[in-house]
Amino acid sequence: MIKSAVTVSLVAEARQGPFVFHEGLEDAFQRASALGFDAIEIFPPSPSALIVDDVLALCDQYKLKVAAVGTGAGFLREKLTLTSGDEDVRQRAMTFIEDLMTFAAGLNAPAIIGSMQGRFDQDVSRNQALAYLSTALSELGEQADALDQMLLYEPLNRYETNLFNRLEETAAYLETFDNPRLKILCDLFHASIEEEDIAASIRKAAPHIGHIHFADSNRRAIGFGHTPIHPIIDVLKQVGYHGYLSAEVLPLPDTQTAAEQTIKAFQLAVSR
Ligand code: LER
Ligand code: MN
């Protein structure tokens, strides 16, 4: 069963970011529940910003699950990355992610590493950045195993990272860890920039894909851009994907319309 999810950002600095809800957790739970979503994906400002029991109470009240928890605020607010040339920054990035993984596990959800992967540059060579990243993902992957959760690694488009942009190279990289907890988050917006044929790339990387950001070519709700979604859903059904399609999209033309369009597109595509 493919499941639906929708994002809420609780980060002031991400006001312009690709998240559907921006008006607090309760507002997001209420609206997502009213529209019939299965789950919420949370983008919190820090690992200590929310109390697990409070979020579980909302899950119970609104009959929603937590699909995933993003770690990107560590980059957005504190410029933390796992591949920084500064050891102190790398260490703080690790602590930020470890603490968010623990928080997410309390909600029975995986954490996402997206922008926290960083990039290589004139100070840190590609090989050095990959060595830092590999050390980090080995350790974080062990923690994911101890927490009985996936850890989602997200290839990003070329304007956001120069480490991993495509599904195939990310799958090959994750295989080197020999840890089934490390999974790919396939964001269909990034894929629409980087892949030749999204459906074909998903088919090849399928055993590694643990989560999907359900976004159109222009980062709007599916159906508001030009990504052909039906071939993608057909492949997901054929390979037996049973994770989330989580709307990490811009709240355009407004939050409610983006949320309504998402659930409509989800239901249409998945029930075909
Ligand atoms: C995070 O899920 C993402 O897709 C990135 O583009 C955020 O910078
Ligand atoms: Mn994403």
Ordered domains of the chain (ranges, CATH): 3-270 (3.20.20.150)
Q: From 115, 151, 213, 218, give the residue whose CB has the most ligand 1 atoms within 8 Å, as the site to mutate.
A: 115
The CA 262 to ligand 2 mean position distance, Å, reads 15
> For the chain, what is the mean pLDDT?
98
Residues in the chain, total = 272
The answer to whether the CB of 220 falls within 8 A of the CB of 258 is yes
Q: What pLDDT score does 181 carry?
A: 98
Q: In this structure, which residue's CA is closest to atom 6 in ligand 1?
A: 156
Q: What is the pLDDT of residues 33-59, one digit of tens each?
A: 999 999 999 999 999 999 999 999 999
Q: In this structure, which residue's CA is closest to atom 8 in ligand 1?
A: 115
Q: State how far the Cα of 91 lies from the Cα of 89, in Å rounded to an integer.
A: 5
Q: State how far the Cα of 129 lies from the Cα of 76, in Å rounded to an integer.
A: 19
DSSP H or E run through 5: strand 3-9
The CA 115 to ligand 1 mean position distance, Å, reads 6
Query: Would you say residue 212 has pLDDT above 90?
Result: yes
Residues contacting 32, CB < 8 A, separation 6+? 6, 21, 39, 40, 62, 64, 259
Q: What is the pLDDT of residues 59-106, one digit of tens each?
A: 999 999 999 999 999 999 999 999 999 999 999 999 999 999 999 999
Query: Would you say residue 233 has pLDDT above 90?
Result: yes
The model's confidence at residue 272, banded by pLDDT at 50, 70 and 90, is confident
Q: What pLDDT score does 4 carry?
A: 98
Q: Does the CB atom of residue 142 touch ligand 1 within 6 A?
A: no
Residue 60, Cβ density class (10 Å: 0-12 exposed, 13-18 middle, ≥19 buried): exposed
Query: Would you say residue 262 has pLDDT above 90?
Result: yes
The CA 99 to ligand 2 mean position distance, Å, reads 20
This prediction has a pTM of 0.98
Average pLDDT over residues 132-147: 98
Q: In this structure, which residue's CA is closest to atom 1 in ligand 1?
A: 114
Query: Would you say residue 128 has pLDDT above 90?
Result: yes
